[in-house]
Amino acid sequence: MAALTLNQILDRLRTLSLSHQQINSFYFGSVPEFDANGDINYPACFIEQLTGSIDRSQHLQTYGFRIYMLDRVLVSEDTEGNEQEVLSDRHSVASDFMAMLTYYDDMGDWQVGTLAGATPVTEQLNDMVAGVYLDVTISVDYIADRCQVPATEVTFEDDFDMARTRLLQYTGTGSEGSSFSVTNLSGKIVVAAFRGTTYKRPITTTPTDSDKIKITGTDLGDRKGILSTDGTVALQSGDALVNGETLDFLIWE
């Protein structure tokens, strides 16, 4: 059975509220929208959505609702007495509504939170209403089934597994000149190069300064390095290695 959607939950709340003989109308939205509606037939049930949550470990999606039970207060010489009467009536209706929600909790396709905060409302809105609101949570199944998501296939570039990297060292003879071949470098992906203690980023264009080393091959991007075709390495013209100088190539296999 598919999990209830927000629309289905609201339809159920609407049906339950309007089935109560002391609720004449139902409205879902924000407080300003409700207050601006001149067609409210009191007593009314008004629902505002609050913050919810998705719990992957419990496989639950929880919706938060603030459920108002409101009625007009007659303005007269005994306005305070009328307000108290409205508060008492709306508290009773709110209790009835929670009983209805928890009764239908037995259907198994939603879970109503066991604790609902109840807050009195007095002298609120343009209609001079009073009543109570309940902060209620309703949870439904959350399957997290990627196969049901209407989305195109997405692939991500894999990061390097550093456990698959190693250093390949080359020791200069002083006779290489600006271009030379490094044994066993051919066919390897070169991630970085080190000359002495200085990090050198391999590039595929002709080096323009002594801080760069050229690896002849295919540039696989900033994170993938360079796939060496034949092990050829080049330095800036005139920037030759001296005898005994080392180059360390960080390669990925």
What residue segments make up the domains of the chain, in order of their start?
Answer: 6-148, 162-252
- Where on the phi/psi map is residue 177: left (φ > 0), alpha (ψ -120 to 50), or beta? left
pLDDT for residue 52? 92
Percent of the chain with pLDDT over 90: 32
pLDDT for residue 77? 60
* Averaged pLDDT for residues 32-57: 88
Question: What confidence tens digit (pLDDT) does each residue in 111-147 have?
Answer: 898 888 899 988 767 668 899 999 999 999 887 655 5
112 forms bridges with which residues in the sheet?
A: 138
The span from the CA of 80 to the CA of 134, in Å, is 23
CATH number of 6-148: 3.30.70
Asked if residue 169 lies in contact with residue 229, where contact means CB atoms within 8 angstroms, the answer is no
pLDDT for residue 245? 86
pTM of the prediction? Answer: 0.58
